[in-house]
Structure 1
Amino acid sequence: MKAVRVLIIILLGFLGVSSCSEKQDFDQMENLAITPTYETSIFYVKAQESIINRVSGLSVFSQDFNFDAFEEPFFAERVLSGVLSYELENTTSKPIEITLDFLDPNDTVLDTESFQRDAAPTATLVRDVNYGTTGKSLDIIRNTSKIRLTARNLGDNSSTSSISDPAIVLRSSAKFTLELK
């Protein structure tokens, strides 16, 4: 019985060594393209109507957000395309205007996105802005170091919405495709 087992093991070993296999081509790595897509939140801003009513004049909010992530060499040298997505909700009793300015390190405006919403009830405004071959120049993204957000009340400072917790809400996210190799 031991002789049969030894013979079977030798036969299986011989078949394993002499089985069909292709020569490995390690030059394929040169033709490999790695292009992952990364998604991230950019900002979330909410202003309640009670706060808007306390502000005199049209300007409700103005804030510069430092955003050096786009300038990082790892990102700037590898970005192929991108989409910035925005959602704007207005449940207040006021028509509003939101402006986003994309600024370089010298505060030069590279691009502007503007949004307007009537007083509530209105649907949520959804906008996707493409960058790259199917949209705006990638240089806008590569050179942005700051985003300036300005909100304006185009109505009055006394009315109040009948909707519970009336507010202006702006959400933004980004999805970028990078070339790693």
Structure 2
Amino acid sequence: MSEERREAQYPARLKALHWLVAGLVLAVWPLGYFIRFTRDEVKLDFYLLHESLGFLVLWLMLLRVGARLTAPALPDAAPGLEGVVARAVHGLLYLLLVVMPVSGFLATNAHGFPLSWFGLIPVWSPIGKAPEIAPIFSAIHAWSAWILLASFALHLLGVLYHHLIRRDSTLFRIL
């Protein structure tokens, strides 16, 4: 690995959190989408898994934000408008990966279903059953899911652009 490539690497903790969150999102997002198509007798199991993994994403993202704030600054990978777009997409991904699990957790609570994390740890409900606001949290959760999917697609397009067209070392920063 060249010295330039080694200097531009993200710290190992950020790499691990990036790929762990990415893997979880690739499991949680489709799981949440396909719950509506599951049989009633297993639907609650799917919800428990979706909610528990989503709650894990929240905690990992909070760790990730802390790790990112304490990591040494990396050189900008892209100049000008390209850099602005890259930072905006990354910022949106970070924001949505916190908003989604929080809104999902609050929607679950407001619908009257307190979270038992992986069926083992009861999680305190900050709002309790509140059917009048449950649809608001559910809508935030659903909209943020679709915006997250679009942001994820933009992120992947950026990765492909850098790796296949510009042929720079941007991808190697996170590998």
Q: Greater share of strand residues, 1 or 2?
A: 1
Q: Greater share of helix residues, 1 or 2?
A: 2
Q: TM-score, normalised by structure 2?
A: 0.23
Larger C-alpha radius of gyration, 1 or 2?
Answer: 1
